[in-house]
Structure 1
Amino acid sequence: MSFVSDADTPGNRTLSVLDLTSAGGLVAAANPRPRTGEGELAIGQSAVGLHEGKGFTPFPRAKKTCSNTPRQAVYADERDGVVTWTESASTNLYFFDWCVFAYSPETRRTALLGDSSSLTKGKEVPEAPGSSAPSIGKDKAYWAVTYPTSGKRDVGVKIVARPLSGEGEMETVTERGKLPKATADGALYFVRSEDVSPGFAKDRYEIHRVTPEGSEATVTYGHLAPGQQVTALAVAGTSVNWVVSSEEQGSSVLYSLNTATNRAVTFELGHTGPPTMFLRATPERLAWGNGSATGDAGQYVYDFARGRLWRVGSEEGFSVMYAKGDHLAWSQLPETGAPGSASFNVTRWER
């Protein structure tokens, strides 16, 4: 077991963890300390890279980039050494601009995959429901985006993709979908519900799968009570896992479906299940924590084959869990120390 700290890096920067790698390293962002002035928060430009025990090594900057406005990395995904991440200049909860990048360990280059300015036409739009986090598939990255429309709703939602190499154009994979999760064989899973699909039944959600050839089918569906939404999705191996939550009810339910047997396991969660909670899956295990939500701050691991549940820790206000390959990582706040600092326990799961 090793510990990686959110301590200062050279240049008075702080290190924030974005994802766990299959090799047991951490994808992290070195961020300049934000400055305040004239009532506004000014952020600095992130440097994204790997923290593998010997320190932080940033990826090279992309030759083609977004505007010169400083941006901080907010999401990342890793598969077989390839890393994709999202940066945003926004410090406003109601506005989300983005740039998506991908780093290849083979070419040792970083490519710009997409820029929100190509879709928003200069208008300010919020983040996609659930999250705009990227997901790596076989040879493409996928993410959900919002864009201005002229319909009854001012903002539309769709899922886009682009080759990890940065070649070709950004394409629309499906309209009116959220929470995209891609698999290594080139399939894509996503959620469709009324919050992103006007005219869809308000009391229903569907989880769809798009094959590498482009055909789409419903994997499963369920009922939504008033105020409920699907707020998290994780897919790996034969398991499809999702959270149905409601802020009004103060509770949520995690479902784990084995598509090979068509059997599901449910977990009653002792928190609201917000989009900021952490839900990660591997073919063998499911891991979750409530992020910064109130309620149960436990950090959990569920073993599919054994049908056993472990509580590996609990961190109120920062209950973070990552899972990738045979490795797990979970956050730990120090009993004493600088406010906002955290460490991560990284271990190979051998149970």
Structure 2
Amino acid sequence: MRVSSLLALSVASVAALGACGANPEPAAPPADATGVLMARQDARPAPSTMWKTRDVFNAFWSDVAGPGRLASNLALTSAGALVVTESPAPKVGAEGKVTLYPADLSVRIPGQRPAVISKAPKAATDTRQIIAASAGRSGLTWLETTSTSLAMQDWRIHYQPADGQPRLVGDSDALYKTRELPPPPGGIHPQASADGRIYWAAAAPDRTSVNGFTALILAADTTGRTAPRPVVRNAKLPRVVGSTLYYVVSPDVAPGKLTGRFEIHALTAGVDKVIASGVLEKDQQLERLVAGPTHLAWYIGTANSQAEPSADPDEGCADRSHDGCSIFVQKLGSAEPPTRIAASSTGVEMSLDGSLLGWGSGSSNGDPGEYLLDLNNSKLWRLGDSRGCSSVSIAGSYISWGKSDAAGRCGVTVAQRI
């Protein structure tokens, strides 16, 4: 199926949120005494004048999927469409055994019938799950796994150009002759580049490694005609902007090479440069990275017991003394230190497009708020609160964020900015 008219995946430049007519916007939020933006305290509610269309899509997934089925969104396109995975609800059998069912992948444009991109196998024993997707200028990329274990994760990487058919570009079983592979730190997250490549992270068998595996970044052509090949070893969190690959080197993937610090690299046309670096205190890890044409943002989490949530679930992580549980925003090419944002949660999921950075805490403990930061003027907006499914995605003029209710249901709202 051709999906060019459905995806409209061109990445439009994002205008500043300041262009909201006569809306009396507040000044940029103040920083605390240490120069840190405090997300919970400093964010203002997003004004209604921000939106051209407030509810392009607004629904709980249980209502979308129907009785006995599950659905969730994996990505947002610059046409305001949602990339959705849907499957029958898991079945709990004797002795607590859980049976998972294979999932469909579809693109949903509000007001139109869903366009199925990948149909679930008919075999009842197939456990194929689609757990990640990215929508870029050239097409749609997604990750499938048959694993039902948190400790192991095989993978198949698929790509569908905006004007073509899906094709398999990478298969862990074919490459490594095994499905017993641990998930790499930070996840696999395949993404397409502007020069016809797909990049993703993997854990490759390595007899010389202490744990038997090495974290690396693989690449394959979007044609699917060539086998995946390693691009960078001892690296994680690949992110692609145009034809540039950004990635992280840190002690968890490069033991013995880096101690107590991290590096963020940019690889363009074979030239590799360190563009950001920093200190990691004991128990800290750089867990998330997003990149755009003008900025980078990363999240540093901590396992420090003193930074764990208190009895107040909204307090989250407060490891301010060592910069843990914080988002850092760096302007590319700038000699200025990165801006630090105290996230007040034990994990975040981020999205960066143009001049906007969005984030939520996912299902992590801590602040369930969903935030939007204008990188042009440092204005910080709060889109909502979504306990257990806090998320923000940005694509062109569209923004999506999670919603939840007292019954624990999760859903999503999509809006178009002015």
TM-score with structure 2 setting the length: 0.76
Asked if the contact 2:138/2:192 (under 8 Å) is kept, the reply is no
Secondary structure (helix, strand or coil) at the match of 2:390 reads coil
Q: Which residue of 2 aligns with 1:343?
A: 411
**Distance in 1 of aligned mates of 2:235 and 2:174:** 19
- Say whether residues 1:288 and 2:359 are aligned partners: yes
Say if 1:105 and 1:13 are closer, same or farther in 2 by CA, change over 3 A.
farther
Q: Give % identity.
A: 27
CA distance in structure 2 between the partners assigned to 1:62 and 1:215 by the alignment: 41
Distance in 1 separating the partners of 2:148 and 2:97: 9
- Report the more deviating stretch, 38-47 or 282-291: 38-47
SS in 2 for 1:169: coil
Distance 1:269 1:232 in 2: 13
Deviation at 1:167, TM superposition (A): 2.6
C-alpha distance in 2 between matches for 1:129 and 1:226:
17
Task: Tell me the equivalent position of 2:247.
Answer: 190
Three-state SS of the structure 2 residue aligned to 1:59 is: strand
Residue number among 301, 315, 324 corresponding to 2:386 in the alignment: 315
Q: In 2, Cα distance between the equivalents of 1:9 and 1:271?
A: 30
Q: Which of 1 and 2 has greater Rg? A: 2
* Aligned with residue 73 of structure 1, among 125, 130, 137: 130
Residue matched to 1:304: 375
1:266-285 alignment, distance < 5 Å? 266-273=340-347, 277-285=348-356
Cα displacement string for residues 42-67 of structure 1 (whole angstroms, at most 9, x for unaligned residues): 2111111201112422115599xxxx
Q: How many aligned positions are there? A: 337
Separation in 1, partners of 2:180, 2:68: 32
2:399 matched to which residue of 1?
328
Q: Using the alignment, how far apart are the partners of 2:137 and 2:168 within structure 1? A: 19
8 Å Cα contact 2:402-2:410 kept in structure 1: yes
Structure 1 residues 224, 120: closer, same or farther in 2, change over 3 A? Answer: same
Q: For 1:221 and 1:327, locate their aligned partners in 2 and report how far apart those are by CA, in whole Å.
A: 32
SS in 1 for 2:166: strand
Q: Which moved more, 1:256-265 or 1:138-147?
A: 256-265
Aligned counterpart in structure 2 of residue 115 of structure 1, from 171, 176, 188:
171
SS, match of residue 117 in structure 1: helix
Q: How does 1:1-351 map to 2 (within 5 A)?
A: 1-2=55-56, 3-6=58-61, 7-9=63-65, 12-38=68-94, 39-53=96-110, 54-60=112-118, 69-80=126-137, 82-107=139-164, 109-122=165-178, 124-138=180-194, 139-151=196-208, 152-184=210-242, 186-211=243-268, 213-248=269-304, 249-250=307-308, 251=317, 252-263=325-336, 264-273=338-347, 277-335=348-406, 339=408, 341-350=409-418
Shift of 1:280: 0.6
Partner AA of 1:258 in structure 2: K
Instruction: Return the offset for 1:261.
Output: 2.9
In proportion to residue count, which structure has more helix? Answer: 2
Output the CA distance in 1 between the equivalents of 2:234 and 2:402. Answer: 34
Comparing 199-208 with 341-350, greater Cα deviation is found at 341-350
Rounded to whole Å, the distance in 1 between the matches of 2:144 and 2:226 is 21
Q: Specify every segment of 5 or more residues in structure 1 that has no aligned partner in the other structure, as ranges.
A: none
Contact 1:62-1:111 within 8 A present in 2 as well: no
User: CA–CA distance in 1 between the matches of 2:333 and 2:93?
Assistant: 56
Offset, 1:168: 2.1
Work out the CA distance in 1 between the residues paired with 2:99 and 2:355: 42
Q: 2: distance between equivalents of 1:49 and 1:262?
A: 43
Structure 1 consecutive aligned stretches of length 4 or more whose deviation exceeds 4 Å: 60-63
**Partner SS, residue 168 of structure 1:** coil
Shift of 1:218: 0.4
Kindly provide the CA deviation profile for residues 43-95 of structure 1, in whole angstroms up to 9, marking residues without a partner as x. 111111201112422115599xxxx8331111110013611111112221111
User: Would you say the 8 A contact 2:190–2:198 is kept in 1?
Assistant: yes
Residues in 2 aligned to 1:171 and 1:11: alpha-carbon distance in whole angstroms: 43
- Counterpart-to-counterpart distance in 2, 1:142 and 1:47: 23
CA distance in 2, matches of 1:120, 1:9: 36
Deviation, structure 1 residue 26: 0.5
Normalized per residue, the structure richer in strand is 1
Structure 2: distance between partners of 1:303 and 1:262: 20
Q: Deviations over 1:299-321 (max 9, x none)?
A: 00000112111111111211111
* Deviation (angstroms), 1:101: 0.8
Letter in 2 for 1:221: S
Q: Amino acid of the residue matched to residue 260 of structure 1?
A: G
How far 1:114 sits from its partner (Å)? 1.0
TM-score, normalisation: structure 1: 0.90
| Structure 2: runs of 5+ lacking an equivalent | 1-54, 309-316, 318-324
Letter in 1 for 2:221: P
